[in-house]
Amino acid sequence: MKGRLIKLINKFSDKIIQLAHGDGGLKTRQLIDHLLDKYLGNEVLSRLDDSSVIDIGPNKKLAFTTDSFVVDPIFFPGGDIGKLSICGTVNDLAASGAHPTAISLALILEEGLPVKHLEKILSSIKKTLDETGLNVITGDTKVVGRGNADSIFINTAGIGFIDDDYVISPEMIREGDTVIINGPIADHGLAILSQRQEFNFQADIESDCAPLASLVSDIKNASPNIHALRDATRGGLATVLCEIASRTLFDIEIFEDKIPVRSQSRGICEFLGMDPLYIANEGKMVIFVSSQDTDKVLDALKNNIYGRESKVIGKVSGKEKGSVFLNTQLGTRRLVDMHYSEQLPRIC
Amino acid sequence: MKGRLIKLINKFSDKIIQLAHGDGGLKTRQLIDHLLDKYLGNEVLSRLDDSSVIDIGPNKKLAFTTDSFVVDPIFFPGGDIGKLSICGTVNDLAASGAHPTAISLALILEEGLPVKHLEKILSSIKKTLDETGLNVITGDTKVVGRGNADSIFINTAGIGFIDDDYVISPEMIREGDTVIINGPIADHGLAILSQRQEFNFQADIESDCAPLASLVSDIKNASPNIHALRDATRGGLATVLCEIASRTLFDIEIFEDKIPVRSQSRGICEFLGMDPLYIANEGKMVIFVSSQDTDKVLDALKNNIYGRESKVIGKVSGKEKGSVFLNTQLGTRRLVDMHYSEQLPRIC
């Protein structure tokens, strides 16, 4: 997260932690760049990839990632905190090109949590693990008193191996690369939003929460020229593209009429004054591939259950200031930037 | 956790989660054996070691562990939640004989947490990382609203490598093995207790919170016959010994007059009616070593900063029912069992 943002915010002046420090947007970046990095900074962490990758031997790399899940509510259309906690970590590993190998599961339970809720969550974790062929191999359980947590928080960490010399990283992005997404954006955030008391609107939107390891494996098999992958979760598609652009200094052009958004989602966003580009996904991979392999990769995506609605949404233009531009349906071209404050707390 | 306990509790009948499900004692075991194992059970997880170890190549194994920290208060004599979160994971890796390689750090922050508290915790994390030569290579930050967490919860996961064929595991324990501990027990739990409003007694006890990777490395170098190591945290020394005995079916004899307990700790325990054997430690390794190497290992321990007060506290007797016996100072011999209910919630 170097480049332009640094100029906007060059110190951390907040005195107390706010919800916006956890939304994946600008204030989260500020917290990471100016506070966490001050104490924990090192070369691997500073890459801010979905997973960190370290060399562990000739032609063998290990990917390692962690995420805590605090989603509210814990059950939502299309999933629950259990499914989410496995998909999130599987997708972070997959985004680094790693084959997910094992997962850890750490539970923080609030005293009074109904055991049947815990069972439902564990059952959902098992179902997702079975789909991906993974096991939880280490775990931890803590319980805190009533009012000291909100029913259940889950942390998963994951490890995966990269056994080939197929490097997938923003550093591999080249001018002219195609940008693809594997389906409609904003479903997860809107599914959560539809369940919140303060909104409580009727919608048939389900979270897109899904484990994307097989999808990544399919596109790697289809093309040796996948350059970068990014899991577009908190902060949505816009935030992921801004991070990639800012880090590589490549400009990225995206086209509003190409970006898949369900008509119902679009309607809700217009009604609420929200931008789907910034709304969280939990089963969307942003794919940077060299342009000549675009069709091969699209074919592979469309043959995977989680890629049927894949679309080319943009391209990498020249190495300039690391900006993202949205070419709108009205024919205008506007700068896409990182949001300053959160659209939605606790969406994952 | 097979053997005797299973006969005592053969189903999980609680309807809601209670504080005791998180104390590391009998109810925690019940939750793991009869609920978590039902959905997540697999061969590696069921070993219930401090870390899980998987083969990743010829003569190369990977250890993987996770822990969430919810200690209350977050600052206490001898440490804070930051130092604790690094030591806990380093020690879990060390207990499996692994060389700690990298750590993940996931923060759940409560809205309103003073940033200066977060900085103090991060500074403490950095100091502990520097001592161990480790880096945090992947992380995550979530923020939840006021009243939905208790200031800060931290999860760390850790990976470490075992590059030799030196197997350290309860399965290696043999009849006649010596049991050693690297210093006085109960300091961590009592240091936390002294800060709790409901107790609020004056004491000069500091937490023993310490990273024990160098200590484990020193004893491995001193003897090729370290059979098992266990980090005696939640549930204290008694719980660790009961778990090992129950799993291996070896009986273990310990001697009350050999177990190091500071006189002040002993006094507080007598006053409060608590048993130091069950009180949490955060820098105590229980070491099983073949008897002929006892002196070599004791020498190595005493040369390490965290082992100066090491003592032989017992021995492994025959393969019987997997019981632990305490030979008291009064000359009696009593069965040591796992506690049914918690002594102290949120001590780590």
Q: What is the mean pLDDT of chain B?
A: 92
Instruction: Using pLDDT thresholds of 50, 70 and 90, give the confidence band for residue B22.
Output: confident
DSSP B164-206: SS---SGGG--TT-EEEESS-SSHHHHHHHTT-TTT-------
Q: Among A59, A111, A142, which would you mutate to test the B interface (most chain B Cβ atoms within 10 Å of its Cβ)?
A: A142
Q: Is the pLDDT of residue A6 over 70?
A: no
Top-confidence range, B58-62, B203-207, B215-219: B215-219
User: Residue A42: what pLDDT?
Assistant: 86
pLDDT in tens, B239-252: 999 999 999 999 99
CA dist B155 and A149 (Å) reads: 14
Residue type at A109?
L
Instruction: Using pLDDT thresholds of 50, 70 and 90, give the confidence band for residue A196.
Output: confident
Bridge-partner residues for B285, per DSSP?
B231
Two structure tokens written together for A255: 């086209």
Contact assignment for A68 to B136 by CB distance below 8 Å: no
| Cβ–Cβ < 8 Å for B240, B286 | yes
> Average of pLDDT values for A250-268?
97
Task: Pick the residue from chain B with its C-alpha nearest to A105.
Answer: B66
pLDDT in tens, B268-295: 999 888 999 999 999 999 999 999 999 9
Instruction: Using pLDDT thresholds of 50, 70 and 90, give the confidence band for residue A340.
Output: low
Lowest average pLDDT, out of A40-44, A269-273, B22-26, B96-100, goes to B22-26
Nearest to A39 among B45, B102, B122 (CB): B122
Helices first, then strands: H and E counts in chain A:
11, 14
Two structure tokens written together for A266: 């679009």
Instruction: Using pLDDT thresholds of 50, 70 and 90, give the confidence band for residue A162.
Output: very high
Q: Is the pLDDT of residue B157 over 70?
A: yes
Instruction: Using pLDDT thresholds of 50, 70 and 90, give the confidence band for residue B163.
Output: confident
Domain annotation for chain A: domains and CATH numbers: 59-165 (3.30.1330.10), 170-336 (3.90.650.10)
Of residues B1 and A255, the one with the higher pLDDT is: A255
Q: Is the pLDDT of residue A199 over 80?
A: no
Which stretches within chain A are classed as H helix?
4-8, 26-31, 37-40, 43-46, 81-95, 115-132, 187-193, 213-222, 236-248, 263-272, 294-302
Nearest to B111 among A17, A31, A69 (CB): A17
Lowest average pLDDT, out of B207-216, B262-271, B299-308, goes to B262-271
Q: Element (H or E) spanning B239, and its range? A: helix B236-248
Q: Is the pLDDT of residue A24 over 80?
A: no
SS3 label, residue B46: helix
> Average of pLDDT values for B23-33?
84
CA dist A233 and A121 (Å) reads: 21
Using a CB-CB cut-off of 8 Å, the residues of chain A touching B36 are 122, 139, 141
CA dist B215 and B303 (Å) reads: 9
Nearest to B112 among A17, A72, A110 (CB): A17
Residues 6 or more apart whose Cβ sits within 8 Å of residue B74: B80, B81, B117, B121, B151, B152
| Cβ–Cβ < 8 Å for B321, B2 | no
Contact assignment for A115 to B161 by CB distance below 8 Å: no
Nearest to B242, CA basis, from B179, B304, B301, B294: B179
Distance from CA of A79 to the nearest CA of B (A): 17
Two structure tokens written together for A77: 């259309």
Q: Element (H or E) spanning A52, and its range? A: strand A52-57
Contact assignment for B111 to A19 by CB distance below 8 Å: yes
Is B158 exposed, middle or buried (CB count within 10 Å of its CB: 0-12, 13-18, 19+)? buried
Q: Is the pLDDT of residue B8 over 50?
A: no
User: Residue B3: what pLDDT?
Assistant: 37
Q: Among A140, A154, A233, which would you mutate to test the B interface (most chain B Cβ atoms within 10 Å of its Cβ)?
A: A140
**Chains A, B: CB contacts under 8 A, how many?**
266
User: Residue B166: what pLDDT?
Assistant: 92
DSSP A94-126: HHTT-EEEEEEEEEEEETT-BHHHHHHHHHHHH
The angle subtended at Cα B41 by Cα B38 and Cα B44, nearest 5°, is 165
Contact assignment for A54 to B102 by CB distance below 8 Å: yes
Two structure tokens written together for A202: 């009727």
Residue type at B147?
G
Residues 6 or more apart whose Cβ sits within 8 Å of residue B251: B245, B316, B317, B318, B319, B320, B321, B322, B323, B324, B325
Q: Is the pLDDT of residue A23 over 50?
A: yes
Residues 6 or more apart whose Cβ sits within 8 Å of residue B55: B61
User: Residue A343: what pLDDT?
Assistant: 61
CA dist A48 and A69 (Å) reads: 18
Distance from CA of B195 to the nearest CA of A (A): 17
Task: Pick the residue from chain B with its C-alpha nearest to A104.
Answer: B66
Instruction: Using pLDDT thresholds of 50, 70 and 90, give the confidence band for residue A341.
Output: low
Q: Is the pLDDT of residue A228 over 60?
A: yes
Say which DSSP state B34 is in. Answer: I
Instruction: Using pLDDT thresholds of 50, 70 and 90, give the confidence band for residue A7.
Output: very low
User: Residue B2: what pLDDT?
Assistant: 34
Q: Is the pLDDT of residue A321 over 90?
A: yes
Contact assignment for A51 to B21 by CB distance below 8 Å: no
Instruction: Using pLDDT thresholds of 50, 70 and 90, give the confidence band for residue B4.
Output: very low
Contact assignment for A122 to B159 by CB distance below 8 Å: no
Q: Among A66, A85, A111, which would you mutate to test the B interface (most chain B Cβ atoms within 10 Å of its Cβ)?
A: A66
Distance from CA of B173 to the nearest CA of A (A): 22
Residue type at B262?
R
Q: Is the pLDDT of residue B77 over 60?
A: yes
Of residues B58 and A172, the one with the higher pLDDT is: A172
pLDDT in tens, A72-118: 999 999 999 999 999 999 999 999 999 999 999 999 999 999 999 99
Q: Is the pLDDT of residue B1 over 60?
A: no
Task: Pick the residue from chain A with its C-alpha nearest to B64.
Answer: A138
Lowest average pLDDT, out of A16-25, A269-278, B124-133, goes to A16-25
Nearest to B50, CA basis, from B64, B36, B32, B69: B64
Distance from CA of A291 to the nearest CA of B (A): 31
* Residue found by looking up tokens 């409580």 in the block: A200
User: Residue A5: what pLDDT?
Assistant: 41
Task: Pick the residue from chain A with its C-alpha nearest to B108.
Answer: A68
Q: Element (H or E) spanning B8, and its range? A: helix B4-8
Nearest to A68 among B108, B114, B116 (CB): B108
User: Residue A342: what pLDDT?
Assistant: 55
Distance from CA of A315 to the nearest CA of B (A): 29
* % of chain B residues with pLDDT over 70: 95
Distance from CA of B53 to the nearest CA of A (A): 9
Distance from CA of B136 to the nearest CA of A (A): 7
Contact assignment for B138 to A57 by CB distance below 8 Å: no
Of residues A27 and B138, the one with the higher pLDDT is: B138
Q: Is the pLDDT of residue A2 over 50?
A: no
Residue type at A206?
E
User: Residue B10: what pLDDT?
Assistant: 58
CA dist B258 and B310 (Å) reads: 10
Distance from CA of B331 to the nearest CA of A (A): 38
Q: Is the pLDDT of residue B152 over 50?
A: yes
Distance from CA of B261 to the nearest CA of A (A): 27
Is B346 exposed, middle or buried (CB count within 10 Å of its CB: 0-12, 13-18, 19+)? buried
Using a CB-CB cut-off of 8 Å, the residues of chain A touching B17 are 109-115, 118, 143
Lowest average pLDDT, out of A153-157, B29-33, B258-262, goes to B29-33
Distance from CA of A103 to the nearest CA of B (A): 9
Task: Pick the residue from chain A with its C-alpha nearest to B61.
Answer: A56
Residues 6 or more apart whose Cβ sits within 8 Å of residue A179: A241, A252, A254, A286, A287, A288, A312, A313, A314, A315, A316
> Average of pLDDT values for A172-179?
98
Q: Is the pLDDT of residue A198 over 80?
A: no
User: Residue B34: what pLDDT?
Assistant: 87
Nearest to A39 among B64, B70, B123 (CB): B123
Please state the length of chain B: 348
Is A320 exposed, middle or buried (CB count within 10 Å of its CB: 0-12, 13-18, 19+)? exposed
User: Residue A10: what pLDDT?
Assistant: 59
CA dist A209 and A85 (Å) reads: 10
Q: Is the pLDDT of residue A271 over 60?
A: yes
| Cβ–Cβ < 8 Å for B77, B30 | no
Residues 6 or more apart whose Cβ sits within 8 Å of residue A330: none
CA dist B249 and A105 (Å) reads: 28
Instruction: Give the ipTM.
Output: 0.94
* % of chain B residues with pLDDT over 90: 78
CA dist B14 and A179 (Å) reads: 51
User: Residue B342: what pLDDT?
Assistant: 55
- CA–chain centroid gap for A347, Å, is 12
Is A335 exposed, middle or buried (CB count within 10 Å of its CB: 0-12, 13-18, 19+)? exposed
pLDDT in tens, A283-301: 999 999 999 999 999 999 9
Contact assignment for B143 to A107 by CB distance below 8 Å: no
Residues 6 or more apart whose Cβ sits within 8 Å of residue B295: none
> Average of pLDDT values for B250-267?
97
Nearest to A137 among B18, B23, B44 (CB): B44
Contact assignment for A40 to B112 by CB distance below 8 Å: no
* C-alpha separations of A211 from A79, A152, A285, B268 in Å: 12, 21, 10, 52
Using a CB-CB cut-off of 8 Å, the residues of chain A touching B159 are 62, 64, 159
Using a CB-CB cut-off of 8 Å, the residues of chain B touching A22 are 109, 141-144
CA dist A101 and B48 (Å) reads: 19
| Cβ–Cβ < 8 Å for A261, A159 | no
